[in-house]
Amino acid sequence: MRPTRSRSEGSDLSRRYGLRASEWATTWYPRRDGPVTDCVTNSSPVAHRSDTHGRRAIAHPHPVEFAVIAHQRSETNLELSARGWNGANSHHLFAPRDALLNLGAGDVALNRLDVSPELDGVEEGLWIVNQLEAQGVHVFNRPPGLLAAHDKLITARLLTAAGIPHPRTRRLHHATSLDGLSLPVVAKPRFGSWGRDVELCGDRRALDDYIRRMQRRDWWRSGGVVQELVPPRSSDLRVIVAGGQVVGGAMRLAAPGEWRTNVALGGRPVAATPPPEACELALAATRQIGIDFGGVDLLPEEDSWVVLEVNGAVDMRPSYSLGADVFSAALASLELSARKPSLASQW
């Protein structure tokens, strides 16, 4: 069984996915899952949503510092930090501890901590980003939202609660995790990236074999997930969202003989303009997850689209640009969103 929706349900996507926090608060972590990390504070679902959208607009009475917070010197992180923030005194690419030493009240930070190389959680430093906020730094991609984007189980529960099309997902313990899912399925780490340890399992025997092999991995302690397969098409659509606006997009083509589109596995991004309905779903997904800047991967299905993943530390290339340079467009949209008055009254 695949994620579907009726034609009537798609008539007003903006209204359909505008779910209030009180309507999905009970869909957050069930007690049996236990905590993923003890570093993130104030990450209850209600706090997550109201804090993310209830911040005061940034006011800059004096020049500020701008920093991208990341451990990796990736092309995207370097490009974003080089573009900087309009009116900022200087701009930097800081590891979390350096950000804590150099940023203060009124400064601006873009949190781009990624999944750890071991795939067992988020990179070190989420608690430091919380501390930056407590010191008055305006943080984009706050820790609760970034954690929700990196954790595929939380992502699935939040998207499903809002009625956003997404593959049915279960936490992976053993082959009985398939109960209620249709074969074939995709098994992957709960905190995954780069296509690593993502495998297609056509039957229970294949899933048992996957579990047997992955139990030796460090990430298995954090768990895996299993999802119903959305039929692959050797490509998917990535939509870049920043500050509540679509600022970039690309079609990712899988390498020959490969069904996964990850660039790390030989995939190739090509310029593409996302269609309106895909943009609506991408905006709804980032809004529901609670991130300010991210990438949303989608696949077409019948007459609609399915959200595959939300990437809170998305990598981009110049080919993602939709007219304006995608790196500059992302920062400009974040700056514009920061100047808007509080949205807390809407919740």
Give the architecture-level CATH label for domain 168-228.
2-Layer Sandwich (3.30)
pLDDT on residue 238: 94
pLDDT on residue 341: 56
pLDDT on residue 10: 41
pLDDT, one tens digit per residue, over 126-179 is: 999 999 999 999 999 999 999 999 999 999 999 999 999 999 999 998 766 677
Across the range 99-111, mean pLDDT stands at: 96
CB 292 within 8 A of CB 240: no
Q: Is the pLDDT of residue 235 over 50?
A: yes
Alpha helices in the chain (DSSP H): 13-16, 21-24, 45-53, 75-83, 96-102, 126-134, 143-150, 152-161, 204-214, 276-289, 326-338
pLDDT, one tens digit per residue, over 115-129 is: 999 999 999 999 999
pLDDT on residue 26: 26
Across the range 307-318, mean pLDDT stands at: 95
Delimit the CATH 3.30.470.20 region(s) of the chain.
1-167+230-347
Question: How buried is residue 15: exposed, middle or buried, by Cβ count under 10 Å (0-12/13-18/19+)?
Answer: exposed
Task: Name the pLDDT band for 297 (thresholds 50, 70, 90).
Answer: very high
SS3 for 306?
Answer: strand
Delimit the CATH 3.30.1490.20 region(s) of the chain.
168-228
Q: Is the pLDDT of residue 47 over 90?
A: no
Class of CATH domain 1-167+230-347: alpha beta
pLDDT on residue 58: 56
Cα maximum dimension of the chain: 63
pLDDT, one tens digit per residue, over 247-268 is: 999 998 887 877 677 677 667 7
CB atoms < 10 A from the CB of 39, how many?
Answer: 18
Q: Which residue has the tokens 């077409």?
A: 300
Pairwise CA distance, residues 304 & 10, whole Å: 8
Structure tokens at 141: 């991609």
